[in-house]
Structures are given as structure tokens and as C-alpha cells.
Structure 1
Amino acid sequence: MQADSTIRVGAVSYLNTKPLVHGLAAAQSDIELVFDLPSRLADQLAAGDLDVALIPSVEFFQDPSYAIVSDACIACRGPVWSVKLFFRKPPAQVETLALDEGSRTSAALSKILLSERYGLKPQTMPLPIDSSLDSVDADAVLIIGDRAIHAPDEQFVEVWDLGQEWRAWSGKPFVFAAWVARPGFDTPQIAAALSSARDAGLEHLEEIAAAEAPQHRLTTQQCLTYLRDNLHFILGPDEENGLALFHAHAVQRGLAPPNDRWTRHDCETT
């Protein structure tokens, strides 16, 4: 953590983050924006090297002293398109599961859905970020990001869009990441700054889509549809309830520690 008044804010440079950081550093002179991998951001936040970071939900659960400091988030209310589980066997017969190392939150979500829907606890193995699906001989393979958006050539028995599957099972939105402050950080204006940056990003989605589409091998319209229709960037009451439900099931499976603040009476599946 720096001694001056600069607020160090960490984010990932993924496509789904662009609307949240659009013009953030330029609009807020006391913010230093740092880009890194999600796991590294979580480590830097825990060490106090960052004041605020956009970290995955599972990472947020790990420290009860963490606080969400903005109503800006990365969520979905249905199909998310960029997080998919590919099945080589019918879901009920899955014994082995390969997990994309790029997302521990999606890995936890996969385990929860397979457990809740089929009573399964498959043996897991890692799928390195730079490895293809055919490099692992698993009954089901989780992949995220560009690799999930661009369907692999292999034929699969079934494919789950995990945003859609979570919504169908729980009736609630799913929150993939939120703006979280380190313990002891107290700068109220950061909430307004992050919300304003989100609002500015939503107003410039077409511009963002045009700039980002080529490097993700998408048309501008495909990129715009993903940002506008598949993703949801506002952390409202429904999103909070979805996050609480996810936490409850993560705790049941030893994927997150208990936290009384996430115990809600309305966290039952519908």
C-alpha cells in the first residue's frame, strides 16, 4: 500500500471487465489502475498492496473482513456465454472433471451444480490456461473466456452454459466478481467513482465492443450482444441473494469459510 493519497485499484484486463473500468483512471485522478490475473489481484489485496480490487466471488469469501464497496459487479441473469461445461459423457455419469485454471469461481460453481443436480463429486484435474480440451481425458471439461465463446471442434454429449444452469436451478442471478476493499480501507468516494465508471462504460458499450471485438475473434455485434445481453453489471438485491446462496453451497463443500453476514432467510432455491 502506498503512503500517499493514491488509491490503488486492481482489475483484470478481460473483455467482461471493460465496461467497469472504461475511463476510470482518467476520470479519477487519485486512482492508480493496476491490471493483473485474478489470483494475483486477490493475493495483492490480501497483502495490502491494493486498496480495492475486482476479485472473483470465491476469493471474496475467503476473508470475513473483506467488504464489497460498490454496486458495480460482473454478473449474469441467464446465459453468460463465456463459462461452459462440456460433457463427453451424460452429466449423471461424470466421474472426472477438468477445471480451467483461469477461474476458481466457475470451478466451484461446476462442483455445486453437479453435486446438487446429480449427487456427484467427480475427481478433478487442472486444465492449464494455455492447454486445449483434447489435452485432458476427462468426462467433463470446464472452460471460460474466449475458449468457451468459440466452441471447440470436438463433439460433446451435452454443453452447459453455467450462467443459464445456475439460473434454471436457483432462480437467482450469479455474481462472478465484485469490487472488494482490503481490511481497514475507508474511502467512501471510491463507491461513487466505481459506480460512475460502470455507468460510463454502459453508455459506451458500442464503442467498447468495436474496439475489443477483433482481438477476441468476434464481430462488433457479437461483442456488443455479450456485453449488453449476457452480462449484468449492477449488484442489486437479487444479485446479493444469489451471491449469498453461492456462498452457502460453497461452505457446505469446504470451498469457502462460514460467514454469518451471508446467512439469509431468502437463500433457498426456487
Structure 2
Amino acid sequence: MKDIKLALVGYLNTKPFEYGLKTSLSKEIYSIYYDNPAYCVKLYENDKVDVALVPVGALSSIGEYKIITDSCIGCDDHVRTVVLMSNEKIEDCNHVVLDSHSRTSAILTRILLKEYWDTNPRYSTVNIDEIEELESEEAVLMIGDKVFENEKKYKYSYDLGYYWKKLTGLPFAYAVWIAKGHVSQGAIDQLSIDLNNGINSIDQVIEEQRIKEPLHDLESYYRDNIDYVLDTEKRKALDLYLTKMSELELVHD
């Protein structure tokens, strides 16, 4: 079997995937590139990798791909690490700062603000790491590990997984595994086995990460917030999200 070059988002929520790949008996076949969601898409589009975990908001702009495996980064309610934060109620915010690292969450924010909260704020996109404090009537989208560092900093926090469920009644898939057409079925099958082994090793992942991240409630995060199975309901949610994205003319936004 040929080596598989793959891109993996370097967040805490992907640690079960990483664990499965690194403890696999076939681990020598994997060359893993770590980065933020947006750059994982670039690696895939520029043919630097054959397989990637990509944010679903990028699927409409990617040329050649097929969704592989029944694994994803998803949730069935609160996700905890995709949130809008503000010091005023979100209905009173007229400017929303979006995180440049994930187009999926930025688009989800715009869908929810329009369809759930019925607001139409001004948007800007920045590297959230450069934000020091918010102005009056301003909200910020935060994703990934930086949420843990900031979740007590602001008066209001709106979990987008929770509000998507309230709007649609569906779970959500934030990122899915995709592959180029030349990747063999044998390689995909092996990857699926290794990812599932990682998902089924949550206890070991928690123990490893607890040493590195002692201040985070990782057990609740991995067991209650993140759902790694790309099931029928999440596939429905993915289709609905892409439809809403198109209806709001956000495909190339």
C-alpha cells in the first residue's frame, strides 16, 4: 500500500483521530500535516495531500473530492468550541468578527444570525488571535482550543451547535474526511479502521491530554460535546447546511 499524505486539523477535538493513526499497526503509511481548518483545505487543493479532514463549508469550492469514512467532527447539541462571544446580547450586536481559520463556522454564524436571531449585523474576518478586546455592540466568533482560554472572558456565550439544533432539529457535522479519486479503496478501508480505533480509545486520549491540558474539562468535552460518527442525521444536516449556504449566496463569499 502506498503512503497516504493527509491533513489533520491540530485541535483537541481531533486527538482521537491522531491517536488512532499513531497507534495503528499500519502507522508507517501515514504522513500527517497539521494545521488550522482553512489551511488543511489549501493543502488538499494544492495537491500537497491526498486525504484531508476539511470543514464542510469548503466543500462547494473544492474541485475533486469524495467523502470517505463514517467519521467526522460533529455534535448533537452543545459543541462547546464553536461559539459567539459578546458583552451584550447577540440581538444587540451590530458587528460580528469572524474567525479566519474556519469558513464553516463563519457561514454557520451568518445562517443562525439571519434565520434564528433575525439580525443583519456587519461582518469582518480577522485572525482571532490578534483580538485584544471587543468594542461596544460587537461579538466575536471563536473556534477550537482558543475557546477554552476565553470562555469566561465575556458576559454572553452562544454555542452554535446548540442553536443549530434549535433551528433545524438536527445535529451538525463541522468537518468530514475527503480523498482524491486516486486513493485506493484499500487505503480508505485502513484509514477508517484506524480512525474508528481512535474514537474507541477515548479513555486513553483523555489520559494523554489531561497531562498536557490539566485546566480543561476534557472528559465532558470528548464524551458529551463532540460526536465523531457521520450518521444519517448528520448527512441530512450537511445537505441542509449547504442548501442554506447557497440560498444566502455565501458559496463564494
- Please report the TM-score for the alignment, with normalisation by the length of structure 1: 0.84
- Residues of 2 paired with 1:114 and 1:189: CA distance? 43
Structure 1 pair 34–151 and aligned structure 2 pair: CA distance change class (3 A)? closer
Deviation of residue 138 (structure 1)? 5.2
SS at match of 1:179: strand
1:205 to 196, 202, 215: 202
Residues 80-131 of structure 1: per-residue CA shift (max 9 Å, x gap): 1111112333333321101122222111111100000233231112342423
Residues 228-263 of structure 1: per-residue CA shift (max 9 Å, x gap): 221111111101001111111111222226xxxxxx
Match of 1:71 in 2: 70
- Residues of 2 paired with 1:155 and 1:49: CA distance? 39
Match of 1:175 in 2: 173
Match of 1:185 in 2: 182
- Residues of 2 paired with 1:112 and 1:79: CA distance? 17
Q: What amino acid does structure 2 have at the position aligned with 1:251? A: S
The 10-residue stretch of structure 1 (6-15 or 28-37) with the greater mean CA deviation from structure 2: 28-37
Deviation of residue 152 (structure 1)? 4.6
Structure 1 pair 136–46 and aligned structure 2 pair: CA distance change class (3 A)? farther
Q: What amino acid does structure 2 have at the position aligned with 1:134? A: E
Match of 1:244 in 2: 239
- Residues of 1 paired with 2:65 and 2:40: CA distance? 14
* C-alpha contact (below 8 Å) 2:21/2:198 kept by paired residues: no
How much identity, in percent, do the aligned residues show?
28
Q: Are 1:229 and 2:224 an aligned pair? A: yes
- Residues of 2 paired with 1:58 and 1:250: CA distance? 8
Match of 1:265 in 2: none
* C-alpha contact (below 8 Å) 1:98/1:136 kept by paired residues: no
Deviation of residue 58 (structure 1)? 0.9
- Residues of 2 paired with 1:111 and 1:226: CA distance? 25
Structure 1 pair 118–202 and aligned structure 2 pair: CA distance change class (3 A)? closer
SS at match of 1:190: helix
Residues 209-242 of structure 1: per-residue CA shift (max 9 Å, x gap): 12113433435xx212211221111111101001
Match of 1:264 in 2: none
Q: What amino acid does structure 1 have at the position aligned with 2:163? A: E
Aligned residues: 250
Match of 2:142 in 1: 143
Q: What amino acid does structure 2 have at the position aligned with 1:180? A: I
Unaligned 5+ runs, structure 1? 258-270
Structure 1 stretches of at least 4 aligned residues deviating more than 6 Å after TM superposition: none
- Residues of 2 paired with 1:52 and 1:223: CA distance? 27
Match of 2:61 in 1: 62
Q: Are 1:8 and 2:5 an aligned pair? A: yes
* C-alpha contact (below 8 Å) 1:69/1:190 kept by paired residues: no
- Residues of 2 paired with 1:147 and 1:92: CA distance? 24
Structure 1 pair 217–104 and aligned structure 2 pair: CA distance change class (3 A)? farther
Residues 168-187 of structure 1: per-residue CA shift (max 9 Å, x gap): 111111111011113x3241
Unaligned 5+ runs, structure 2? none
1:107-186 alignment, distance < 5 Å: 107-132=106-131, 134=133, 139-156=138-155, 158-182=156-180, 184-186=181-183
Deviation of residue 153 (structure 1)? 4.9
- Residues of 2 paired with 1:154 and 1:36: CA distance? 26
- Please report the TM-score for the alignment, with normalisation by the length of structure 2: 0.89
Match of 2:191 in 1: 194
